[in-house]
Amino acid sequence: MTQQDDGSGVARYLVLFEEDAADEGSRAMTNVAGIRAVHSGEIAAQTGDGLAQVPGGVLWPDLGVAVVTAATDQINALRGALSTRGPIAMIEREQLVYAISTPASQPMPASSEEAAFTWGLRAINAPASTATGAGVRVAVLDTGIDLDHPDFAGREIVSRSFVEGEDVDDGHGHGTHVIGTACGSRTPDIGPGYGVAYESEIYAGKVLNNAGAGTDGGILAGIAWAVQNGCAVVSMSLGAPVQPGQPHSVTFERAARRAMNRGTLIIAAAGNESARSDGVIAPVSHPANCPTIMAVGAIDPRHKVADFSCGTLPDSGAVDLVAPGVDVHSSWPMPDRHNTISGTSMATPHVAGVAALDAQAYQGTTWELWARLSQTAERLPLPSTDVGAGLVQAP
């Protein structure tokens, strides 16, 4: 879903620049359309990404992308410049994105094994791994985190909100849950251990508001922040539905590739729009449908594809891996402390956590990290269009 204009033809757009042409592209926007994008480094590190306060927009040089507020005539002028060989590569309308989760079904009774570790941790072989994620920075872009949660006491947490008017505190719950799965505790005072990379450094970026909604601009701001802070992994349990055959965002694809080249792997939820029991398989959601963003589908405790999990369709994005995403137990804002929910949102942080374990255990490029995650996955007796390379496995 795209952002609506304010009735005067003014709306938000993503402007992609050619490689190493961000400064030149920013000058071209000013000269051609009178749009001035402020360099992200000029915006103080405070609550909000600054987009609402900046008349033109914000430029993230590491990604080569600007998010601008512009009138129709300004955008038409910029589009006219696309016909010449110049620094501006693409202009796209900004989309709205949402947290991707569903209520749990009917959780199965806990077994003796479940008393120690969740079924998700056991399915990905995390308890047997000697890796802990120590020294690896993991950015989770979501609805924020409950910084006072007792299960995160003593952990290294860096947080920032990219949502105007809201601090990083999680008023929704989704963010605290996915951060718990990726980076949470193995030895909580109450309940089973649930965190994959339980000694990793947590970078909690709030890009979705307390209602679970956000924008492309907020996501890009969070990705740029993660890259600037040297995060090896970005986990994004969010997205927007797309139609079969709808092309992926060129802007997000280029941004993801540039992030990869700077040492940051982006992992995102494939989406929950399928209804497989009714014969409906929906395409992988935005932005997970980008080739250079690792798209994660969900399986249930029987290692079957979750009914809601999106799949690979012709001329659409592909599922790369699957992970536990049904009846997943993890942290939740106090006073509830823990919750059990389902979704490809819950599968995604399992993969992000394993990526952090791999990053700690092995040296190599981010591209090699992607390859290792795929090559070490457990092959499942299911179509690759549903599960990609298979079920992610801890090193």
Active-site residue list: 142, 174, 345
- What amino acid occupies position 250? V
Q: What is d(CA 143, CA 152) in angstroms, rounded to the nearest whole number?
A: 16
Q: What is d(CA 33, CA 325) in angstroms, rounded to the nearest whole number?
A: 46
- In the chain, the DSSP E strands lie at 11-17, 37-39, 57-60, 65-70, 88-93, 96-99, 102-103, 137-142, 157-161, 201-206, 213-215, 233-236, 238-239, 265-269, 294-299, 321-324, 328-331, 338-342
Q: What is d(CA 56, CA 345) in angstroms, rounded to the nearest whole number?
A: 33
Q: Is 53 left (phi over 0), alpha (psi -120 to 50) or beta?
A: alpha
Q: Is 209 left (phi over 0), alpha (psi -120 to 50) or beta?
A: beta
Q: Is 5 exposed, middle or buried (0-12, 13-18, 19+ CB in 10 A)?
A: middle
Mode of pairing for the β-strands spanning 137-142 and 201-206? parallel
Q: What is d(CA 137, CA 227) in angstroms, rounded to the nearest whole number?
A: 10
Beta-carbon contacts of 169 under 8 Å, excluding residues fewer than 6 positions away, are 144, 145, 146, 147
Q: Which of 182, 211, 209, 173 is nearest to 359 (CA)?
A: 182
Beta-carbon contacts of 186 under 8 Å, excluding residues fewer than 6 positions away, are 117, 127, 193, 194, 195, 198
